[in-house]
Structure 1
Amino acid sequence: MSSPTKPEPTCLIMSLPDEVVVDIIARVSTRFHPSISAVCRRFRSLVASPELYKARRSLSGCNEHCLYVILQSFGENSETRVYNLRRKPDGGHRLVLVSSLPAMPHEASFVVDGSRIHVFGGFSLYDRRERNALSIDCRYHTVQPLPTMPKRMIGTPLAHVMDGKIYVFGYTNYYNKVTAVFNTLTQTWEPEMTKPRIELRHVLNGPDGYVNSIVYDGTKETKWETEWMLKFNKWKSVCVIDDVFYSYDCLYNKLKAYDTKLRCWSEVKGVKTLLPTNKSLVWWPRVVNYGGNLLFLYQKRICRIEEHWCAEIALERRQDGEIWGKVEWSDVVIVGDFCLIESLVATF
């Protein structure tokens, strides 16, 4: 007589109602949401649901910061794609392609506003006359078109968020400078501004021809001319954390800090071992504010292999005014022939 077939064990979590599962997932870091989505169709639907976002917002201390990197591949089929930083099972970090998002326009401008990344300008390989305006929802990894830009801008425009509005600076030709203003509340473009309240200022024309641009708020009492020290430093990128500008100095291979109150530059101490000994190995360096910490991204070529590194640095201002950094982690996040176009941190 054959023994009765044992019933297969059931997964208890699958028997829970959706609202309970959503509450559980809401307490898990968003870095693990892609893995949760891969479990089954039900979990994938819950991770992408508005209910999960509402549950996360209702939980205190659940705001998270997620790094998104825009990489352009080289070759005949060059594409500009969106990647985000995720934690590996072994504790390391890697950049993963967000496959649900399409290829981005070439030479577009990217700006982050909360949980959304806005894309302005650029062109596709098939039509250079486009007036692109897109919005990426980082909560669900979806993209929606925005109203068409009032005018087509050549080259890469500069976009800056201020008080719920996105100011887009660019040129309709090599001589005509224009400013377009997008209202994020009404989701509409405002009439063309001839004298915008903020201005685009070019800080540096470096030895390699790179131009770093910063937006100046003309409504503030502090005059731009008082920050004259900013004009004499070789910047590759810049971010602001607690009223301090941070930048990688490619000439001296150092992380530098500019205190806007003391009006002086200083070296970030304690991170010397993080930087490559040969400064010529550092390509496409970027620094970005990662929830109060500093993310340092750069590309390094070793034996014709392109390694893209990322390091998280905790910052501390000591009593003597010196700024020290502690490297929380440093990993090769992706390997391949890419150009780093932009790095942005979305907040959930």
Structure 2
Amino acid sequence: MEDSLRMSSKTRSKKEQSSEPQSLIPSLPEEIIVDILARVGSCYYPKLSLVSKHFRSLVTSHELYERRSLLGCTEHSLYVVLCNKENDNHYCYVLYRKANGNHSLVLIPSLPKMPRKGGFVAVGSRIYVFGGLNSYRHKKIQTNAISIDCISQTVHLLPSMNVTMSVSVADIIDGKIYVTGYRCNMAVFNTETQMWEPKTIPETMNGYMWACDCVVMAGKMYMRDPVNSFVFVYESKEIKWEMDKMLNKFEWKDACVVDDVLYYYDSGWKVLRAYDPKESSWVVVNGLAELLADARFSAWSYTGSYGGKLAMFYSKITGKTKVIRCAEISLERRRQGKKIWGKVEWCDDVLVGGDFYVNKSLDVIV
């Protein structure tokens, strides 16, 4: 009798378990799952990848990101190359928004060590890396070129550079990446053909300039030479160099461009400066007194463009712990564009511990 009761209870429990509703998503057609995930913010993809191997595969698939593009759900994602001062190693991190709304820099373990003094450019969902040195001690000059697929977070080799540059800076104009280095060596990479193009440098500039910082505004490339205290403007269509004395008024570095205006943090004067090439004038960005007071004792600073806004990085020491702090700043022009005001959208400690600084930030669209 007891055995029969046990059997009936087991049978009943199995029926109850079988009658419990199962998750609907795994039973949906693949295209419906992709359509649902495409509408979810990419900041949730790391957690979704933990659901199953299937989800892990989907959140790194090009099919998903193509669907996001068709739906208009693409987002700007900030990738950051950090240098560890203790060993001079450079690695790639990505800025993630946590569930509580705060932000943090997360190491991408699948990507290799980045070169020192290399040139970095973001084009859509890809990052291009050119030249540089392989290490601080050996200082072997690299002619390697790679592209990083930020969707699958994988690395692809490109044809080697046709010039040798120990220090390189790079930016893009009309689908072509201009890589410039020591003594004005220049290489041009076509992102459509994925090939290098021959480039002629005007004789008046060849062997003269030491490239340091590089930005593109209104289709022109501006490069600062810290050794000779010059700023040169490169016009790609006419293949000529010019000098910009007004832009050379301040020794800008680690600068970025938003809406064809250059921004950088002047650590000497503790202000955020902006240069408009149309007006050929410098202005100080207003409305950031509290943020700049917090950053005034930083050992270093860096500004990067991020979806039409600024990302300002600087160092802090909390107790005995070193941290990297980041603020997202929205920009507004007032008085017919003569004044620029900034507003801090958020400011978080994005990396706690270690001794790092930002080498480069890259605005990737995924």
TM over 0.5: yes
SS in 2 for 1:56: helix
Alignment of 1:96-115 (within 5 A): 96-115=106-125
> Could you say which residue in structure 2 is the equivalent of 1:119?
129
CA contact (8 A) 1:100 1:142 kept: yes
2:214: which partner in 1? none
Match of 2:62 in 1: 50
Contact kept? 1:48, 1:139, Cα under 8 Å: yes
**Does the 8 Å contact 1:180/1:193 carry over to 2?**
no
1:66 partner letter: S
CA distance in 1, matches of 2:238, 2:342: 31
Counterpart for residue 317 of structure 2 = 301
Shift of 1:214: 6.7
* Amino acid aligned to 2:300: W
CA distance in 1 between counterparts of 2:57 and 2:91 reads 24
> What is the percent sequence identity of the aligned residues?
43
When residues 95 and 212 of structure 1 are mapped into structure 2, their CA distance, relative to the original with a 3 A threshold, is farther
Aligned residues: 335
Q: Which residue of 1 aligns with 2:172?
A: 161
Mark the CA change 1:107 to 1:328 in structure 2 (over 3 Å): closer, same or farther. Answer: same
Looking at structure 1, the residues matched to 141 and 245 of structure 2 have their Cα atoms a distance apart, in angstroms, of 39
User: Match of 2:254, SS?
Assistant: strand
In structure 1, the residue matched to 2:364 is 346
Which runs of at least 4 in structure 1 moved beyond 6 Å after TM superposition? 196-200, 211-214, 220-223
Distance 1:145 1:221, change over 3 A: closer
Matched AA of 1:169: T
Q: Which has the larger radius of gyration?
A: 2
Alignment of 1:302-341 (within 5 A): 302-319=318-335, 321-335=338-352, 336-341=354-359
Uncovered stretches (5+) of structure 1, i.e. residues with no partner = none
1:346 CA drift (Å): 0.8
1:205 Cα shift? 5.8
Q: CA deviation at 1:259?
A: 2.4
Indicate if the aligned counterparts of 1:131 and 1:151 stay in contact, CA closer than 8 A.
Answer: yes
Matches within 5 A, 1:186-197: 186-195=193-202
Structure 2 residue aligned with 1:94:
104
Q: TM-score, normalized by length of structure 2?
A: 0.83
1:237 aligned counterpart, secondary structure:
coil
Does residue 246 in structure 1 map to residue 263 in structure 2? Answer: yes
Q: How does 1:75-224 map to 2 (within 5 A)?
A: 75-76=86-87, 78-125=88-135, 128-154=140-166, 156-171=167-182, 177-195=184-202, 201-202=223-224, 204=226, 216-217=234-235, 219=237, 224=242
Equivalent-residue separation in structure 1 for 2:230 and 2:34 (angstroms): 44
Using the TM superposition, give the Cα deviation of residue 212 of structure 1 relative to its aligned residue in structure 2, in angstroms: 9.4
2-structure distance, mates of 1:323, 1:200: 21
TM-score normalised to the size of structure 1?
Answer: 0.87
Q: CA RMSD in A?
A: 2.8
Q: Which runs of 5+ in 2 are unaligned?
A: 207-218
Does the aligned pair in 2 maintain the 1:317–1:323 contact within 8 Å? yes
Distance 1:223 1:81, change over 3 A: closer
Change (3 A) 1:41 1:259: same
2:249 is aligned, of 217, 225, 232, to 232
The whole-number CA distance in structure 2 between the counterparts of 1:142 and 1:20 is: 26
CA distance, structure 1, for counterparts of residue 224 and residue 342 of structure 2: 28
Aligned AA (1:240):
V
Q: Deviations over 1:125-184 (max 9, x none)?
A: 478253210101112211101111123322x2111211111111124xxxx542111111
Distance 1:222 1:304, change over 3 A: farther
Decide whether aligned partners of structure 1 residues 178 and 36 sit closer, same or farther in structure 2, where only a CA change above 3 A counts: same
Tell me the alpha carbon deviations over residues 45-87 of structure 1, each in whole angstroms, 9 at most, x when there is no partner.
1112121121111113x231110000122335x5211000101
